[in-house]
């Protein structure tokens, strides 16, 4: 089982590969700072906001539903902290 932060990180990397773009290019087209996106994919930020995910989706031209429509988000650890 993985936590949501790790699943978001993997999904961003997966979408970059699918779209043949770098993480830095994704930051540019999404209007997110490169440091923010690098912190997410580097595992230093495990609590990405919905607003940031929405910007990523807008940059990629996909819906939030498309973002979370992945096996990565099945069977996540329950987070009761």
Portion of the chain with pLDDT greater than 90, in percent: 77
Which tokens belong to 45?
């930020």
Residue 76 half-sphere exposure, CB side, CA atoms within 13 Å? 14
- pLDDT the model gives residue 43: 86
Give the mean pLDDT of 28-49: 92
Give the mean pLDDT of 2-16: 93
For CA atoms 36, 15, 22, 5, the dihedral sign is positive
Whether the pLDDT of residue 80 is over 80: the answer is no
Whether the pLDDT of residue 51 is over 70: the answer is yes
For CA atoms 62, 67, 68, 70, the dihedral sign is positive
Domains and CATH numbers, the chain: 4-72 (1.10.260.40)
SS3 content of the chain, % helix, strand, coil (to 5): 60, 0, 40
Would you give the DSSP letter of residue 81? -
- pLDDT the model gives residue 81: 57
- pTM for this model (two decimals): 0.90
Whether the pLDDT of residue 1 is over 90: the answer is no
**What does the mean pLDDT of the chain come to?**
92
């Amino acid at each position: 089982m993985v936590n949501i932060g790790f699943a978001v990180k993997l999904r961003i990397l997966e979408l970059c590969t699918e779209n043949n773009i770098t993480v830095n290019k994704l930051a540019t087209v999404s209007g997110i700072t490169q440091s923010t996106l690098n912190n997410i994919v580097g595992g230093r930020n495990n609590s990405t906001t919905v607003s940031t995910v929405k910007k990523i989706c807008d940059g990629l031209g996909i819906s939030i539903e498309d973002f979370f429509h992945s096996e990565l988000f099945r069977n996540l650890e329950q987070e009761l902290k």
